Amino acid sequence: GQTRPRRELIIESCKEVGPSLFSSLLVIAVSFLPIFALQAEEGKLFHPLAYTKTFAMIAAALVSITAVPPLIALFLKKGKIRSEAENPVNRVLQRSYRPLLVKAIRNSKTVLAALAVAVILTGYLFTRLGSEFMPSLWEGSLLYMPITNPGISVTAVTDLLNRQAATLKAIPEVEDVFGKAGKYDSPTDPAPLSMMEFTVQLKPREKWRKGITEDSLIEELDRAVDIPGLNRAWTKPVRGRIDMLTTGIRTPVGIKVLGKDLKVIENLGQQIETALKGVRGTKSVYAERIGSGYYLTFEPNRPVLARYGLTVGDAQRMVETAIGGVSISPTVEGRERYTINVRYPRELRDNVEKLERVLVSAPTGAKVPMGELGTFKTRLGPPMILDEGGSLAGYIYIDLRGRDVGGYVDEAKKVVAEQVKFPPGYFARWTGQYEYLERVRDRLKIVLPLTLVLIFFILYLSIRSTSKTLLIMVSVPLSLIGGIFLMWVLKYNTSVAVWAGAIALIGVAVETCAIMVIFLDQAWKDLAKNHPHPTEENFVQATLEGAQKSLRPVLMAVAMNIFGLIPIMVAVGIGADVMKRISSPMFGGLVSLTILTLFVVPILYKMREQRVLSKPGNGKFYA
């Protein structure tokens, strides 16, 4: 045929692929809008990823329509442009692809039926996946938090700390153990004395016994410290601190019982504790005994006090001095400052009988024992009063094993609703990681559909065809077939990390499918130009020609992403748990996306175009 100027060919080629390429890159950038909508902890974790990807795609989109065309004209001035047929790899791929595509087109109903079966099967597998806020991140250490009933003495707690620490350290995988009971000298740590914490530093994994996993190690550690009356929970140091600071709950799932009477709240908490013990996945459940703290009170005998010329304040000050002590002065030791506190020695105040023998000086000079001036009594009361939203609160801690957070809470809610009756003015609020999960779900329900609508609008402006835009958009849910299947094989739960990977797949799916549609469009334009009255065979050949021309760019786009994800899929160590959840829906989705783009899209495109072009009065051609 007639030789056309190189510059004219370059301009025509850029006009052909430029708009679609620009819109595809823009779609990838827009697809990350749901990530930008995330808040709090999940937002801080994934916003850097979204910013990096978005700015890179925006820059690539601008470069593709500004710098690339003149660079092509500059560097392709001389020399021969080799055809795809001269590439040995491409020749092998083309020879393998064409007969498979021919069979797929000839048996299009079978292919679409197989696709429908795959969609149904994937939907079933998706319902079998659990849900959680974030996957458990390996930190190299564990946080063991036992809790006992209020009223335990300092001596008993100290003995329990030493015994538990020694037991934990006897496990070969444990490097060191540090335990503490009660609160630090900080207002952000309002832990009672009955709440203990052990930071268990583990040895590197290569020094573990053969066959030991993280879950089996936790089970072994938990059995070793199993003591009646001690409720145990296991988490990670960083994860546990974040949960406690944000929700006040130290376990993955918790319940806050809110109301106006502490006794009723405690009773409801114990009912919920009993009900949840039978729910599958419950490792331990403990409702705080918010009214079971022990108090020693002194009830003054006013007539006796008056007889000795003493006041109630005189007697109470002596109780305060003897038991709690009085700060008399600070002392400075170098750069450190300490308070000097004076009180009775322990051997003179460690039981009620000895306190009754404490002497009080009367104005008359007489020394009167405290037992004569009043009565010491023990009573129960709240060791700590919690409130939230203007209501008193009681916490229930739930530790899980072998169950996802979302599925567990859904079942537990039904059990609580059936077995526990809340009086008017009292209610339960589920919290912990489940609270984060609900927050993410509610936000994605709004932002994700809006993002898909925006992507549809961008594609429509580029393609100017509703049906073709819908064809490309179909790739978004269908590309998740492989991702969901891979997650099911790896036994991953859905989480924010998984949704981040699925959202990243949206842009890649749209871009890859758009490449195929561009080449099919060009092939069918040539068909309309060269065959005014096409036959069925002409339709098939046009589809084959367009699909074969798109084979190399489609495989390059997909392979580039797959090769980039392989190091993440085989990674180990700290951080790999989260990164694998991000990459697994993309990795599996790219595999199914390749099959979808190379076989299903050409079939659907042919069916659509053949139906449109074969209508009488279409104005194009009619066979």
Q: How wide is the angle at C-alpha 589 spanned by C-alphas 403 and 92, nearest 5°?
A: 145
CATH number of 293-381: 3.30.2090.10
- Integer-rounded Cα Rg, in Å, for the chain is 36
Give me the helices (H) in 154-236, please: 154-169, 214-224
Residue 73, class by beta-carbon neighbours within 10 Å (0-12 exposed, 13-18 middle, 19+ buried)? middle
The three-state (H, E, C) secondary structure of 396-424, written as one string = EEEEECCCCHHHHHHHHHHHHHHHCCCCC
Beta bridge partners of 286: 397
On whether the CB atoms of residues 382 and 290 are closer than 8 A, the answer is: yes
Residues counted in the chain: 623
Report the C-alpha gap between 16 and 462 in whole angstroms.
Answer: 11
Spatial CB neighbours of 400, under 8 Å, sequence gap ≥ 6: 251, 252, 253, 281, 282, 283, 408
Here the tokens at position 617 are 């009065």
Alpha carbons within 13 A on the beta-carbon side of 234: 21
User: Euclidean distance between the first and final Cα of the chain, in Å?
Assistant: 28
Amino acid 17: pLDDT: 62
Long-range contacts of 216-222 (CB under 8 A, 24+ apart): 217/171, 217/173, 218/142, 219/401, 220/171, 221/142, 221/144, 221/168, 221/171, 221/174
User: Does residue 45 come out as left (phi exceeding 0), alpha (psi in the -120 to 50 range) or beta?
Assistant: alpha
Residue type, 81: I
Here the tokens at position 111 are 């292919």
Residue of 377, 431, 87 whose CA lies nearest to 244? 431
3-class state of residue 100 by DSSP: helix
CATH number of 140-235: 3.30.70.1430
Looking at the whole model, is its pTM more than 0.85? Answer: no
Report the C-alpha gap between 218 and 171 in whole angstroms.
Answer: 11
- Angle formed by the axes of helices 601-613 and 88-106, nearest 10°: 60
Residue type, 401: R
On whether the CB atoms of residues 456 and 474 are closer than 8 A, the answer is: no
Superfamily of domain 85-128+465-613: Multidrug efflux transporter AcrB transmembrane domain (1.20.1640.10)
- The dihedrals phi and psi of 474, each to the nearest 5 degrees, come to -60, -25
Taking the chain (623 residues) in consecutive chunks of 10 residues, what is each chunk's mean pLDDT?
63 66 72 80 80 80 75 66 70 84 87 89 86 77 83 80 88 87 66 81 86 84 83 81 75 86 87 87 82 81 87 84 82 86 82 84 84 85 79 85 81 88 88 80 84 83 78 81 87 82 81 82 77 75 83 84 82 75 85 87 82 58 39
Amino acid 6: pLDDT: 65
Report the C-alpha gap between 511 and 508 in whole angstroms.
Answer: 5
DSSP-derived pairing of the beta strands 282-287 and 293-300: unpaired
Amino acid 459: pLDDT: 78
